[in-house]
Amino acid sequence: MEFQIKDVTVYFPYDNIYPEQYSYMVELKHALDAKGHALLEIPTGIGKTIALLSLITSYALSKPSNPIKLLYCTRTVHEMEKTLARFVHQYQLLHLGSAARILALGLSSNKNLCIDPAVAFAENRDSVDAGCRKLTVSWVRALSIENPNIPTCPFFENYE
């Protein structure tokens, strides 16, 4: 579905749009036009993710000389993966094509990314973060050059 919000053609992946989604997009466009920040709230189950992604990507495509950045935070890794998959497969590839060239990147925590078995299997996120810092902080790494008995993260040290 395609429709206009002022000077932007919005590419929406579904045949119908809820009035709340449309209002959300209009308010988001106002924030983008003002080059400001936006904190918008919409009820659960209305489709805020697809509304946000549809408007942001459509806006970016309509104003290529005015690049924008979107920082989209989720509460869980599952939500992040679902959002990225929805964006890349359901929206960008099917409706915009490869010419859109919009980069989507998912970032996670040490708890989800660490591959050092001495750290990764700690019982909670804080323990993983502390263990990672203890092995990778710059002053510990500097000390380990003089004293090879000071442990460091072999994965961090050997990353190229």
CA-based nearest residue to 88, from 74, 69, 102: 102
Helical residues (DSSP H) of 109-153, grouped into ranges: 110-113, 117-120, 125-136, 138-146
> Can you give the pLDDT at residue 101?
62
In contact, 157 and 138? CB cutoff 8 Å: no
What's the pLDDT score for residue 98? Answer: 60
The secondary element (H helix, E strand) that includes residue 10 is strand 8-11
Q: What confidence score (pLDDT) does residue 66 get? A: 72
pLDDT in tens, 94-125: 666 665 566 677 777 666 777 888 888 888 87
Low-confidence ranges of the chain (pLDDT < 70): 88-103, 109-111, 160
Residue 100: the pLDDT is 58
Q: Is the pTM of this model over 0.75?
A: no
